Amino acid sequence: MNALHLNDFSLTAREAIAEARETVAGLHAELQRNDLVAWTAGNVSARVDLPQEAAQAAAEAAGQASGDVSGLFVIKPSGVSYDELEPGNMVVCTLDGVKIDDDTSIGLSPSSDTAAHAYVYRHMPHVGGVVHTHSSYATSWAARGESIPCVLTMMADEFGGDIPIGPFALIGDDSIGRGIVETLEASRSKAVLMDRHGPFTIGADARQAVKAAVLCEEVARTVHFARAYGDPQRIDQDQIDALYARYQNVYGQKDHA
């Protein structure tokens, strides 16, 4: 555990951490509601942006000048039933993936995918939320090492093209995170199917990352059946680009100035 304690942070920072804990705890229910997880096999995290001075002050208060205290993220505790998840047991980590003294029980370890989430936050500054599931249809494409071809307008809308396959990597160090970042940096997709493991999704915030996980499973299922009974054709790239631009910039309720 890190020497940092919640009390080392300013009131403003502690309020931001508390808000992130509420959000992340609530979003795990969305994974269940959308049938994306069996047992505890999935996790959601959210970045907590801190003003640099707040992060530095906390580090100095903890007598810690080293380590990445430029921000924090909140992630679920490993292996805890979704029925027991609540804001108070959401684990707070530095961007190095190290738990701070966050008033959860000392014994509560962060998700086993914490290193992967942390790597994404360190290397993709625009990402505010990360989700990992083993949802059945997306994971069956991962098991085959096959990317999902962009044969649906919904895929063009949300993923801007195919949903790519990432490399096979073992859990426990930066390998998975590195594979996620390398794959997503080469694509517009918000989802990557890690080979023989399962989907990881990103978003500007945690709710957008959960949406990407829901839509990833939805299109994985639809294309699975389309391929079983036919030969669906990939949408032309210029049409994918037009669909993606509309959906990302026009769809829904935009703030009308």
Ligand X SMILES: O=C(CO)[C@@H](O)[C@@H](O)COP(=O)(O)O
Active-site residues, by number, are: 157, 251
**Furthest CA-CA distance within the chain:** 63
> What tokens does 73 get?
């993220």
HSE-CB at 235 with a 13 A cutoff on CA atoms is 22
Smallest separation (angstroms) from ligand X to the CB of 244: 29
Q: Which is nearer to ligand X, 43 or 208 (CB)?
A: 43
Tell me if 164 sits within 8 A of 183, measured CB to CB: yes
Q: Which is nearer to ligand X, 90 or 220 (CB)?
A: 90
Q: Which is nearer to ligand X, 96 or 241 (CB)?
A: 96
The residue ranges of DSSP E strands in the chain, in sequence order, are 42-49, 71-75, 91-94, 129-133, 165-166, 191-194, 198-203
Smallest separation (angstroms) from ligand X to the CB of 205: 19
Q: Which is nearer to ligand X, 9 or 111 (CB)?
A: 111
Q: Which is nearer to ligand X, 77 or 203 (CB)?
A: 77
Partners of residue 163 on adjacent β-strands = 148
Smallest separation (angstroms) from ligand X to the CB of 207: 18
To the nearest 10 degrees (0 to 180), the angle between helices 11-33 and 52-61 is 100
> What tokens does 174 get?
């930066």
Tell me if 131 sits within 8 A of 212, measured CB to CB: yes
Smallest separation (angstroms) from ligand X to the CB of 169: 12
Alpha-carbon distance of 257 to 252, in angstroms, equals 15
Tell me if 75 sits within 8 A of 24, measured CB to CB: yes
Amino acid at 53: E
| Residues that bind ligand X in the complex, under the rule CB under 6 A | 40-41, 43, 76, 78-79, 111-113, 132, 171
